[in-house]
Chain A
Amino acid sequence: MSERITCEAFDAAAAELAFELVDPEARDVLLAHAAGCDRCRAELESLSVTADLLVLLAPDGEPPMGFEQRAVEAMVGQRRSRRWLMLAAAAAVLFVVGLGIGSWRSHDDSTSTFRQAVLVDDHGASFGSASLAWSDDVVLTMSLKGLDAGDYRCLVETSDGRTHLVATWPIGAEGTGWWAVPLQLDARSVHSVLIQDDDGTPVASAVFN
């Protein structure tokens, strides 16, 4: 049923496909060819990466007055439905560690607070940073770099001396990653964050106070 094409025919349309400018029928034929041809699949991938970068050259423009507020309200308006998706995704981790996700309440920028600390090992080498932001909800965000590939555990130590396993996250071969997880803890009680490898060996920590 599906039309077969040659690599030469694929080449002729590859750039247009990379810009996502071909009609659905032609796209299906081209993608079917790429799926069975390593050479053409690699060509399409590399052209697509370049095509996606060209948008960086567009000039900036000043949006209309009030755009920022309208955009944020539209985003946060999706929050309720997102909440259920997030609950489902986080349920496994949160069940294990005994941490929960707080209920959603109205957002108020004026009450937000933020702390950030550098993640360092015992020798002072930096592995990124840990950030704690809270207003109605408490969110821990990790920016990581320089790690070996593997699974890492993130633990939060509170001022009462207790340690809470927040999650286990993977780091790929590139050694970088961004993690974020909501906490049901009093943000002011969070003393430090610890990163361990999957053997439980401490890798780096960030002390907030």
Chain B
Amino acid sequence: MVMWTSHVERLDDGALLASMAAGDANAASVFVRRHQRAVFGLAITMCGDPRLAEDVSQQTFERVWKHAGTYDARRAPVRAWMLTITRRLCIDAFRTNRSTPIDPFDLSALLPPASGSVEDAGVARAEVRGLRDALLGLPPEQRRVLLQASLGGRTAVEIAEIEQIPVGTVKTRLRLALARVRNEVRPVGVDDV
């Protein structure tokens, strides 16, 4: 029943967070190694600027370290919780720095995911596939709006300017798209690791 290992890599994400909340720097090191590509990938996708993306990524891990004890497994998998922090920081950063987020026409090219690291991190393959399939099942005009709001971090007004459509139309498409994805994707379980 005893497993010996020379590294903390064997801890799942939830246990790593618990260790980080207790101040374990080894756990922090493993956590960064495990998730840095996902964090930087989202940051560079949203910000478009490598230097800004690096700053955002580092701030993400600092916040994870600081708030590890507040993670609620019932709400989201660890990776989604962490990437939500990244997304918020990106929005703050490119609104402050007025950097240019990724071209919305490129966002659709992000589907399907370019790498398998989501699965590697333990998020169930079927659940991620279900999320992706739900997006691919949307009408293209709804999918574009949804991706611009999510991975683009753009407001309805900004999307309306890009798409050359009324703001009300953007809000309607966004609401319909998000509700449809919600209805088609079952909640991701807490045992994501």
Question: Which residues on A are within 8 Å of B, measured CB to CB?
Answer: 11-16, 18-22, 46-47, 49-64, 67-68, 70-72, 74-76, 78-79, 82-83, 86, 104, 107, 109, 112-118, 120, 129, 131, 133, 135, 137, 139, 141-143, 145, 172, 174, 176-182, 206-209
Q: Which of B10, B79, B154, B155 contacts A114 (CB 8 A)?
A: B10
Q: Is the CB of A18 within 8 A of B178?
A: yes
CB-based contact B7/A114 at 8 Å: yes
**Which of chain A's residues have a CB closer than 8 A to the CB of B33?**
68
Q: Tell me which of B18, B50, B65, B191 contacts A179 (CB under 8 A).
A: B18
Q: CB within 8 Å of A: which of B151-183?
A: 151, 153-156, 168, 171-172, 174-175, 177-179, 181-182
Determine which of B22, B154, B187 lies in contact with A21 in the assembled complex, contact meaning CB atoms within 8 Å: B154
Considering only residues 30-45 of chain B, those with a C-beta below 8 Å from chain A are 32-33, 36-45
What separation, in Å, do the CA atoms of A115 and B3 have in the docked complex? 7
Contact call B8/A71, Cβ cutoff below 8 A: no
Contacts of A71 in B (CB 8 A): 32, 36, 57-58, 61-62
How far apart are the CA atoms of A107 and B28 in the complex, in Å?
11
Q: Spell out B's residues near A (CB within 8 Å).
A: 1-8, 10-12, 14-15, 17-29, 32-33, 36-46, 50, 53-54, 57-58, 61-62, 64-66, 73-77, 79-81, 83-84, 86-88, 91, 110-111, 113-115, 117-118, 123, 128, 131-132, 135, 146, 149-151, 153-156, 168, 171-172, 174-175, 177-179, 181-182, 185, 187-188, 190-191
When the two chains form the complex, which single residue of B21, B91, B153 contacts A180, counting CB atoms closer than 8 Å? B21
- Are A16 and B150 CB-contacts (below 8 A) given A53-B76, A56-B131? no
Taking a contact as CB atoms under 8 Å apart, the answer to whether B149 and A16 are in contact is: yes
Select which of B11, B62, B117, B178 is within 8 A of A131 by beta carbon. Answer: B11
- CB of A55 within 8 A of CB of B11, answer no
Q: 6 interchain pairs (CB within 8 A)? A: A21-B155, A55-B87, A56-B118, A117-B1, A207-B1, A209-B2
Q: Is the CB of B2 within 8 A of A117?
A: yes
Nearest CB in chain A to that of B50: its residue = A64
With A and B bound together, what is the CA distance between A82 and B84 in angstroms?
23
CB-based contact B149/A15 at 8 Å? yes
Min CB distance A27 to B, Å, is: 12
* Contact A57/B115 with A50-B178, A71-B61, A75-B28 known, Cβ cut-off 8 Å: no
Closest to B182 in A: A50
**What distance in Å separates the Cβ of B8 from its nearest Cβ neighbour in chain A?**
5
Pair B131/A57 contact, Cβ less than 8 Å: yes
Which among A50, A172, A208 has the highest number of chain B CB atoms within 10 Å?
A: A50
Chain A CB within 10 Å — which of B62, B64, B131, B150 has the most?
A: B150
Q: Distance (Å) between the CB of B118 and the closest chain A CB?
A: 6
Q: How many A-B residue pairs have CB under 8 A?
A: 270
Q: Which residues of A contact B42 (CB under 8 A)?
A: 55, 58, 61
Residues of B within 8 A of A176 (CB): 14, 73, 190-191
What residues of A have a CB within 8 angstroms of the CB of B53 in the complex? Answer: 61
Point out the residues of chain B lying under 8 angstroms from A181, CB to CB: 22
When chains A and B are docked, how far (Å) is the Cα of A50 from the Cα of B184? 10
- Say yes or no: A16 contacts B171, CB within 8 Å: yes
In the bound complex, residues from chain B placing their C-beta under 8 Å from that of A135 are: 25-26
**Residues on B with beta carbons closer than 8 Å to the beta carbon of A68:** 29, 32-33, 36
Contact B188 A53 (CB under 8 A): yes
> Are the C-beta atoms of A57 and B111 separated by less than 8 Å?
yes
Query: Nearest-CB distance from B188 to chain A (Å)?
Result: 6
Bound-state Cα–Cα, A109 to B8, Å: 10
